[in-house]
Amino acid sequence: MNRLGRPSKIIAVHLNYPSRIAQRGRTPAHPSFFLKPTSSMAVSGDVIERPAGTELLAYEGEVALIVGTRVRRVTPDQGWAAISGITAANDWGLYDLRLVDKGSNLRSKGGDGFTPLGPEVIPAASVDPAALRVRTWVNGVLKQDDTTAGLVFPFGTLVADLSQLISLEPGDVILTGTPAGSSVALPGDVVEVEVDAPTAPGTPSTGRLVTRVAEGTTPFAEYGARPHVDDLQRIEAWGDAETAGVTAPAPFALTDEVREKLSSAAVATISAQLRRLGHPNASIDGVRSLTPGTKMIGVARTLRFVAHRPDLFESHGVGFNAQKQAFDSLAEGEVLVIEARGDATAGTVGDVLALRAKTLGAAGIVTDGAARDSAAVAAIGLPTFAQAAHPSVLGRRHVPWEVDATITCGGATVLPGDVVVGDDDGVVVIPRHLVGQVATGAAAQEAEDAWVAARVAEGHPVEGLFPLDAEWRGRYQAWREEQP
């Protein structure tokens, strides 16, 4: 790599292009990075080996920044000024190894030849950083085509953020993320990446960075982690389920039959069924309905708050934070369950966010913290359960931390995808795999309890009737058989 020199480090960004973020389904609040070894560098025309026994070697066409001067603790404007050149990069990755180092990406993205760069360098001063284009071709077919106009984290921001803790040296390379269209390359494929500035004078371009894919012959040894893939990895590597040739897992949804059974059952009845199945701690304790008389049934989404700390609130509490992300991404029939550590001395939901949930078709909100604007929230009509009302705004006791993680709300563990049911008695959480069994059992129990109540109303004593002894159960079964 004589033309570009050997950098002291190669740093890559996980997600940056809105098109790729939409594919992944998660929006980062801040840039996150990983290192690639300089030994992974390659030049145009080199061959990349897909290791023996693997199947998911994926290309990612990217804009690469070349640092021109040493920088430390610079502003975003100063960060862009420190870039001397732009070139094309292909951030190759082996999804077969993500299981053991996902996030660090050391082996999955650090193999020899996994970071080709070049072939030409565009002087950074000659282009607008928001007016670059990156394109990728596989065997001559255009697969990626996007611009830097809408990057979530502009180039100067990336440099400034890194420089807070890390000195960037001349020649260092920063890979700035890949747009949608990344997919799997097969042995024999030719992958080309080009970065250009179509609106700049002379239309400067890096030329096409060419990489040829070959099949490896040396298998992985037993003493290290072996390649492992599943359908989720295949879908992420290829870009979608259809291209990967697998059936995408259908999002969990309540069937009309199950929903009807749960609607006819009281939360107390559902709680009894869960207890019979070995789940005595399924209730979200301490919460009450702000909308008495309403029934809530839906699939759980989760939001977790951590205890307030000024530095964490500064980094996680402002902007499009986890709380806003959670409410803004709710879908029809979902219940947002909020872990606030049982601290009801600060609001965790208010009227605006509750209204947003309502307009998106959400089924309800549950928080073991407090609700702000409680009267207005109740007036919206969305089933809402909270421990108390409190006037404070976000920032007094809580920091919004993460979305769609496993949480503990009111003493109950809640996983995204669990089913949440609430009424005036409280809220219970049904593990997804038990929903059908619980719904059927609860419907049967409701029918039995209604029959028992009718006998009590007729004047029968409860002894032997509640619960049913053998004699009364026989009478009940006989009555059931007579029903149409």
CATH superfamily of 10-244: Fumarylacetoacetase-like, C-terminal domain (3.90.850.10)
The whole-angstrom separation of Cα 153 and Cα 133 is 16
- Which comes out higher in pLDDT, residue 396 or 123? 123
The whole-angstrom separation of Cα 441 and Cα 278 is 14
- Determine how many CB atoms are found less than 10 A away from the CB of residue 394: 23
Residue 250's pLDDT band, with cuts at 50, 70 and 90, is low
* pLDDT surpassing 60 at residue 134: yes
- The answer to whether domain 10-244 and domain 280-430 are alike in fold is no
Q: What is the pLDDT of residue 248?
A: 63
Pick out the residues of the known binding site.
350-353, 372-373
Per-residue pLDDT tens over the stretch 468-481? 888 888 888 888 88
Instruction: Give percent of the chain with pLDDT exceeding 70.
Output: 98
Contact 256, 250 (CB under 8 A): no
Per-residue pLDDT tens over the stretch 266-283? 999 999 999 999 999 999
Q: What is the pLDDT of residue 356?
A: 93
Contact 158, 26 (CB under 8 A): no
Pick out the residues of the known binding site for Mg(2+).
373
CATH class as words, domain 280-430: alpha beta
Instruction: Give the mean model confidence (pLDDT) for residues 15-24.
Output: 87
Instruction: Give the mean model confidence (pLDDT) for residues 447-461.
Output: 91
**Does an H or E element contain 48, and which?**
strand 47-50
Pick out the residues of the known binding site for substrate.
350-353, 372
Peptide bond into 119 cis (omega under 30): yes
Q: What is the pLDDT of residue 28?
A: 82
Contact 363, 300 (CB under 8 A): no
Structural tokens at position 68? 């021109």
Q: What is the pLDDT of residue 246?
A: 85
Contact 405, 376 (CB under 8 A): no
Output the pTM of the full model.
0.58
- Determine how many CB atoms are found less than 10 A away from the CB of residue 384: 28
Per-residue pLDDT tens over the stretch 317-351? 888 888 998 999 899 999 999 999 999 999 999 99
DSSP letters spanning 406-456: -EEETTEEE-TT-EEEEETTEEEEE-GGGHHHHHHHHHHHHHHHHHHHHHH
The domain segmentation of the chain, as residue ranges, is: 10-244, 280-430
CA distances from residue 381 to 77, 290, 340, 404, 421 in whole angstroms, order as listed: 47, 9, 23, 24, 16
Instruction: Give the mean model confidence (pLDDT) for residues 199-209.
Output: 96
* pLDDT surpassing 50 at residue 2: no
Residue 241's pLDDT band, with cuts at 50, 70 and 90, is confident
Backbone angles phi, psi at 333, to 5 degrees: 85, 5
Instruction: Give the mean model confidence (pLDDT) for residues 49-72.
Output: 96
Q: Indicate the length of the chain as a whole number.
A: 484
Give the least confident one: 30-44, 139-153, 237-251, 317-331.
237-251
